[in-house]
Each structure stands twice: as C-alpha cells, then as structure tokens.
Structure 1
Amino acid sequence: MNDQQLLRYSRQIMLPEIDIQGQQNLLNSRVLIIGMGGLGSPAALYLAAAGVGSLVISDFDDVDLSNLQRQIIHGQQDIGRAKVDSAWESIRELNADCHVLPLPEKLSGDELKQQIALVDLVLDCSDRFSTRFAVNRYCMEVQTPLVSGAAIQFGGQLAVFDPKDPESPCYSCLYEETDDEAMRCAENGVVAPLVGVIGAMQAMEAVKILSGAGQAATGKLQIFDALTAQWRSMKLSRDPGCPVCSKRK
C-alpha cells in the first residue's frame, strides 16, 4: 500500500481484526456482484469504499424512474442509461483506485460459470429465482463463497454459503426451484431503506470473508422485519438430498 491508501483505509487498518494484512487482502480481492439494483447499489459502494480492489458488476437493465426510490447508486441524470454504466461512474467517483468491469448483460451458462471462477466471492443481489439457483449451482461447482441477499415489502433475508466449508449448506438446501416472479419488487413493492440494510449487510459479510476478520454468517439464515426492527437467526443444515451439494465432500 502507498501512503494515500494507508490514509484512505486507516480507520479499517487500525482495527486489529483487519490490520494491514486484512486491508491488503481486500485490495487484492475480486468480487462479482449480480444485479445493480436495490441490493447491489449499497453493496457495490461499500465494497469500493472499503478497498476491494476489483468489482465485476453485472446487470442487463436500464435505469428507470421507479428505480430511484431505492437504487442509490443511480441518479435522475442516469434514467435510460445501462445500470452498469451508471454504477461504474458512481463507483469511480467514490474510489478511482477500484477497478470495475461492467457487464451489461444477463450472465448465464458457461459465461456465468467462468465469471464466478475468476473471482474470490460472489454477491447475489438479483431479484429472480432462476438467477439465484444458477449462481448457487456454479458457486458450488467452482468453490466460490456466495453471499445471498433478498428484500421485499418490509422483510429482508441474508445468508452466506461457503462451498469450502464442509458443513455449509447451499441455496438449494434452503429453497426449491419456484416461480421466477415471486419475489420481484415490481409486483410486491418494497420500502426504500430496507434494501440498504440488506445490501450493506451483504457488503459486511464480504469484507469479513475477504479480510479474514471475525466469523462469517455461514450456515445461518438471518431474517429482518423492518416493521418491528427485529432480526431473527435460523440455523441452516445441509440437505442430504440436495440436488446441488449433496455429493459435495
């Protein structure tokens, strides 16, 4: 790290759980964020601010007026632009040292698997079950940790799945494949700050995993009720009949 980086990240470096080595780990890390919407917006900004060296951001959508209620990485001037271009510009303004690879497409198949294999960690900030199941499947195949978040109406969920941990379940241990539209904000609504809470928590788990600080929330489903301001934590176990990870050693 140079003097500017030591100053920029000094508030994290002074934490004994992170220190110089943990910060260097962040700077050396590459993270894939699927979705530049309500969850991906705060997650990307916090990871860039925290010093993650490279972010790969994927989204095939354009910025719409209705997005601005919660997708804080975009502004009014970005309406009609590709979300990844708008997000890249916001990240650059926050931390020009963070290398960003914008992918204005819906990753799938071999391309999705390849991008997952090239990173140290994946944040699933998508809003479609089909995407979530595909991301989970490839993360398990190539042994890449996955931080999954979801937010709808006044409720949010957070889970960490680590294929390198023999005790860790995967997303398919928790959910069976279902209707793709069941959790979309466009059909169900969502309160604005909720996605910030869950997206920031996804970034927090990513920072912990990448820097080596603390203990990741692997093997737990954390549920947040914004109406009562309460968190619940449920222990998750591997499903011996899981179609994705049951044969994993």
Structure 2
Amino acid sequence: MKLRLTGEETKRYARHIVLKDIGGSGQQKLKAAKVLIIGAGGLGSPVIAYLAAAGVGTIGVVDDDVVSLSNLQRQIVHRTQDGDVAKVDSAQRFAQDLNPHVNFNAINERLNAANGAGIVAPYDLVVDGSDNFDTRALVADFCEAAKIPLVAGAVSLFDGNLTVFKPYEINQPRFADLYPHRPTPGQLPSCEEAGILGPITAVIGGLQAMEAVKLITGVGEPLVGRLLTYDGRDARFREMKYRRNE
C-alpha cells in the first residue's frame, strides 16, 4: 500500500525523492510501513532516530525500562532531564519532535512468551535491539511464526553484528541455524559487567535502520543468510554466510 505525500512531506523527504531507486514511490512505501523496534536503548536509539527521520509511518517501540544516567553515553534519544522517565515515553518525545508525521506506539512492557505474539502481529517488519540472547531468540520465533522479516543486531565491548532473518521463505535460514547452541551467561556478559563503547551502537543501529529501509522499499540485497560483523578496534567489517540446516 502507498500513501499520498503532503506538500510538507515532499519538502522534508526531498533527498529521498530525488534518490534513484527510492523516489516518490519508495517514500510512499516508507510512509505506509509499520515497524516494531525491540528496545529503546543503545541499538534502538539510532534505529528510532533514522526510521523516524526517514518517514516510516508507524513506529512501535517496546521497552519496560526507565532512563538512567549511565544510559546517556550511548542511548542518544534520551536526555539528562529524562532520568526515571519510561524509555518509550522519552523515545516518543524524541521521534515526534524530529518528525510529527510519524505515528509512534509506545509499548511500556517487557516482551515475553505470553505477550510477544500480540505485540509483533500488527507490524510489517521488526528490528531487534534487545540486549540479551533469550529475548532475541523469542523475537525470532514470533517473527517466523508471523512471517515478518526480522533485522537482528547485537553489540558488545568494541564489536557488533547484524543479519536479517526471513525463514518463512523457501530455504532461508532460521535463528537456530546461526545460533544452534544457547550461550552461557559468561559467554555474553552484559554491558554493565563488561562495558561498551558508545559509537559501536551507532554503527550497528545505523546499519539496522539501513536494512529496514531496504526491506521496506525493495532496494538492494538484504543481509539474509549473511552475518555482517564489525570490529571497532581495527575498523574491519567481515561477512559470514550461513544456511538453513534441515
């Protein structure tokens, strides 16, 4: 479905509209799109910022946390004065200040096995910025069942990675094909325990937003069956292919 752009929107998205392979048609697809973002933290922040700026018509964000001072080193949609404010409310204020044309759904809940299917179902695309493996696996299951594309990302220390899952398509890999074994807690320490360099979240979150825009507009080749990793220390990108294991 395509939605007509207003005159103000045409001016706002002028650099998209003159861009080959996006144009007015691609911008209309962005306006009609409904994207769910899991988490309003380090990865969710740049995704929220760039999808709102890009003119995605409906953005849902699910997160049950509140803003704390230690978040502000990397979670750029929140401000110092937002301490103890629900992250989804702070993110909504940011997104609507940036682009009043965005319909923002603030979902102040923790996604779990009981509510996840209902939260995911109304959306066309999910971008996962959660910070733990169990949630990532759960989100992947819900997206597979609902036949919704999933842009998954993760960060730690100086590194990050992302990929796209569309396992409902023939021969496309599942989350379990990339992660066949559940890691132990020691293998994936939290950022509170190990630390994280703030700009890493911008790199991976920005790339997640890029994949989301590609999927919505049909431009380019999404990272399906490919894991893109970034080593921030050495400034190196690497790509690993993975496939479906029946």
Question: Which TM-score applies when normalising by structure 1?
Answer: 0.93
Alignment of structure 1 residues 100-111 onto 2, 5 Å: 100-111=104-115
Query: Contact conserved, 1:57 with 1:102, CA < 8 A, in 2?
Result: yes
**Cα offset, 1:170, TM superposition:** 1.9
Q: In the alignment, what sits opposite 1:95?
A: 99
Cα drift, residue 183 of structure 1: 4.2
SS at match of 1:87: helix
2:224 is matched with which residue? 218
Gapped regions of structure 2 (runs ≥ 5): none
Could you report, residue by residue, the CA deviation over 1:159-217 in whole angstroms, capped at 9, with x for unpaired residues? 11113432321222111223457242111111010000000000000000001111111
The one of 2, 25, 29 equivalent to 1:25 is 29
Deviation at 1:110, TM superposition (A): 4.2
Equivalent position SS for 2:126: strand
Indicate the percent of aligned positions where both proteins have the same amino acid: 43
2:86 to 67, 82, 89: 82
Query: Does residue 59 of structure 1 match 2:58?
Result: no
User: Deviation per CA, 1:57-90, whole angstroms, max 9, x where unpaired?
Assistant: 0111111111001000101000111111111100
Matched, 1:71 2:75: yes
Whole-angstrom CA distance in 1 between matches of 2:194 and 2:245: 30
Q: Does 1:49 pair with 2:44? A: no
List runs of 5+ in structure 1 lacking aligned partners. 241-249
Residue of structure 1 in register with 2:148 after alignment? 144
Letter in 1 for 2:135: T
Find the aligned partners of 1:58 and 1:183 in 2 and give their Cα distance. Answer: 23
Q: Aligned with 1:147: secondary structure?
A: strand
1:189: which partner in 2? 195
Secondary structure at 2:177 match in 1: helix
Given residue 177 of structure 1, which amino acid in structure 2 is its aligned partner?
Answer: R
The yes-or-no answer on 1:228 pairing with 2:234 is yes
1:177 corresponds, among 172, 178, 182, to: 182
Residue pairs, 1:150-165, within 5 angstroms: 150-165=154-169
CA contact (8 A) 1:35 1:124 kept: yes
Which aligned segments of 4 or more residues in structure 1 are displaced greater than 6 angstroms? Answer: none
Q: What is the alpha-carbon distance in structure 2 between the residues aligned to residue 192 and residue 199 of structure 1?
A: 11
1:135 corresponds to: 139
State the SS of the aligned residue for 1:100: strand
What is the letter of the counterpart of residue 132 of structure 1? R
SS of residue paired to 2:59: strand
Q: CA RMSD in A?
A: 1.2
Partner in structure 2 of residue 238 of structure 1: 244
Offset from partner CA, 1:119-139 (integer Å, 9 cap, x none): 010011000111001000111
Q: 1:167 and 2:171 equivalent?
A: yes
TM-score (norm 2): 0.94
